């Protein structure tokens, strides 16, 4: 089998990759809906893919994996990798998890990082009220992640929150020392959320990036009695193209609150120091940014050997991304906690694809399906209605 074409369409806001082959099997991958600008970057790799056998996934990836970087520039390679696995699974007549080593569980756990309700402000009462709505959502999530501090509107809505200047521009521009008032405000909001959740539902916190090390240490230590699942991306994260493992290690050594990072990190090589020096307790690579699902599997196994837990990021990965999460999570070692449930936006995404269980999430778990490849398919005539003019030939 040979690859004859690589295509990319922006459907809604999600870049969708389609790899076409000479024997009629095609494969799909998807990048985050926060990256609608990715099309030309995806198509850059076409020259390296044409003529390759897509079922030799690792050999194809050796050609292109060097030509990517930290978020957002690892996502094109990652979406291509997903599409290669989709083809390999369809060609073998098996779900992708069989090709990744087989499943070690029949259901995969996910958590709420994306089913959201409008928040009226950033007070502890606002956080508590909002958390009650998420606790009551029908998916019955076993744990929920909420943004605080630099990963929220708190920095702008709470006067005197930080000694730093407020900046606009590309995502997560803000960074600076916290005032005592700012620190106490974060703690009060977390206490208010925990009062709602009790010990029935776990709470994880997305915090930055933007913290200075001493503030991150003080926050982590103050939260110790609350048994938070993790505090994420205090020092670096999201769109920061570096790791700072030694600084994370200082934070992790100082506290019993689990420290988490990794959604922006591309390739196993860039997780090496973080894992080998035990710089964090939990890592959260995104299969749509790390370089694909096999890359994520490899990192999860290596993390497990070092006592580090696994909670993959995924909120913006869409339905094909969800399928990729389910396939790889089926095979992850026992350091797997759960992945961040991707919510497809707009809602019509759920009308243009098939293959998902109904409902998708039951008691925070998703049943693993057994259809070949990633196991989700476009309903082409319905999907066509959402293609922009320049992408009309995407399904041809
Ligand atoms: Mg995050």
Distance, CA of 154 to CA of 240 (rounded, Å): 21
pLDDT of residue 244: 97
What is the whole-number distance in angstroms between the Cα of residue 391 and the centre of ligand 1? 31
What is the whole-number distance in angstroms between the Cα of residue 4 and the centre of ligand 1? 37
Q: Is 383 exposed, middle or buried (0-12, 13-18, 19+ CB in 10 A)?
A: buried
From the list 232, 233, 237, the residue with the least C-alpha distance to 205 is 232
pLDDT of residue 325: 98
Question: pTM for this one?
Answer: 0.97
Greatest Cα pair distance in the chain: 64
Locate the domains of the chain by residue range: 3-93+379-391, 99-373
pLDDT of residue 347: 97
- Give all strands (DSSP E) within the chain, no chain letters: 3-11, 14-21, 26-30, 107-111, 143-147, 202-206, 230-232, 259-261, 282-283, 309-310, 339-340, 353-354, 365-367, 377-378
pLDDT of residue 283: 98
* C-alpha dist (Å) from residue 332 to 79, 88, 253: 20, 19, 26
pLDDT of residue 169: 87
Residue 316 and residue 325 in contact, taking contact as beta carbons nearer than 8 Å: no
Residues near ion ligand 1 (CB < 5 Å) are 206
Count of beta carbons in the 10 Å neighbourhood of residue 391: 17
What is the whole-number distance in angstroms between the Cα of residue 237 and the centre of ligand 1? 7
What is the whole-number distance in angstroms between the Cα of residue 269 and the centre of ligand 1? 20
What is the whole-number distance in angstroms between the Cα of residue 84 and the centre of ligand 1? 27
What is the whole-number distance in angstroms between the Cα of residue 209 and the centre of ligand 1? 9
Distance, CA of 233 to CA of 206 (rounded, Å): 6
What is the whole-number distance in angstroms between the Cα of residue 394 and the centre of ligand 1? 32
Q: 């990192």: which residue's tokens?
A: 299
List the 339-340 sheet strands across, edge first: 339-340, 107-111, 365-367
CATH 3.40.50.300 fits 99-373, yes or no: no
What is the whole-number distance in angstroms between the Cα of residue 315 and the centre of ligand 1? 9
What is the whole-number distance in angstroms between the Cα of residue 284 and the centre of ligand 1? 8
What is the whole-number distance in angstroms between the Cα of residue 156 and the centre of ligand 1? 19
What is the whole-number distance in angstroms between the Cα of residue 286 and the centre of ligand 1? 10
What is the whole-number distance in angstroms between the Cα of residue 232 and the centre of ligand 1? 6
pLDDT of residue 293: 98
What is the whole-number distance in angstroms between the Cα of residue 148 and the centre of ligand 1? 11
pLDDT tens digit at each of 396 positions of the chain: 999 999 999 999 999 999 999 999 999 999 999 999 999 999 999 999 999 999 999 999 999 999 999 999 999 999 999 999 999 999 999 999 999 999 999 999 999 999 999 999 999 999 999 999 999 999 999 999 999 999 999 999 999 999 999 998 888 899 999 999 999 999 999 999 999 999 999 999 999 999 999 999 999 999 999 999 999 999 999 999 999 999 999 999 999 999 999 999 999 999 999 999 999 999 999 999 999 999 999 999 999 999 999 999 999 999 999 999 999 999 999 999 999 999 999 999 999 999 999 999 999 999 999 999 999 999 999 999 999 999 999 999
Distance, CA of 220 to CA of 114 (rounded, Å): 24
According to CATH, the topology of domain 3-93+379-391 is Enolase-like; domain 1 (3.30.390)
What is the whole-number distance in angstroms between the Cα of residue 207 and the centre of ligand 1? 8
What is the whole-number distance in angstroms between the Cα of residue 146 and the centre of ligand 1? 9
């Amino acid at each position: 089998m040979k690859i004859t074409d690589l295509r990319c369409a922006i459907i809604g806001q999600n870049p969708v990759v389609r790899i076409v082959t000479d024997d009629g099997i095609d494969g799909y991958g998807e990048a985050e809906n926060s990256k609608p600008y990715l099309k030309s970057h995806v198509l850059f790799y076409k020259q390296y893919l044409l003529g390759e056998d897509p079922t030799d996934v690792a050999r194809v990836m050796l050609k292109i994996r060097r030509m990517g970087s930290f978020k957002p520039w690892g996502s094109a390679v990652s979406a291509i990798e997903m599409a290669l696995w989709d083809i390999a699974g369809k060609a073998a007549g098996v779900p992708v998890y069989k090709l990744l080593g087989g499943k070690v569980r029949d259901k995969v756990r996910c958590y709420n990082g994306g089913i959201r309700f409008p928040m009226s402000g950033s007070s502890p009462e606002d956080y508590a009220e909002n958390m009650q709505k998420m606790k009551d959502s029908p998916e019955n999530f076993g744990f929920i992640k909420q943004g605080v501090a630099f990963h929220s509107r708190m920095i702008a809505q709470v006067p005197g929150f930080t000694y730093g200047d407020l900046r606009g521009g590309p995502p997560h521009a803000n960074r600076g020392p916290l005032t005592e008032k700012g620190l106490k405000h974060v703690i009060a909001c977390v206490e208010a959320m925990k009062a709602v959740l009790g010990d029935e539902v776990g709470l994880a916190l997305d915090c930055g990036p933007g913290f200075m090390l001493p503030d991150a240490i003080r926050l982590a230590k103050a939260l110790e009695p609350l048994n938070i699942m993790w505090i994420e991306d205090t020092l670096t994260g999201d769109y920061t193209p570096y790791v700072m493992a030694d600084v994370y290690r200082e934070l992790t050594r100082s506290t019993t609150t689990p420290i988490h990072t990794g959604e922006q990190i591309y390739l196993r090589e860039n997780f090496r120091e973080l894992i080998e020096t035990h710089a964090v307790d939990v890592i959260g690579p995104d299969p749509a940014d790390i370089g694909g699902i096999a890359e994520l599997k490899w990192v999860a196994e290596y993390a497990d050997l070092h006592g580090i837990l696994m909670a993959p990021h995924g909120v913006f990965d869409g339905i094909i991304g969800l399928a990729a999460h389910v396939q790889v999570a089926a095979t992850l070692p026992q350091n797997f906690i759960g992945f961040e449930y991707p919510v497809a936006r707009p809602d019509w995404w759920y009308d243009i694809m098939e293959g998902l269980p109904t409902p998708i999430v039951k008691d925070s778990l998703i049943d693993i399906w057994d259809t070949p490849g990633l196991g989700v398919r476009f309903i082409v005539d319905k999907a066509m209605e959402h293609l922009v003019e320049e992408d009309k030939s995407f399904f041809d």
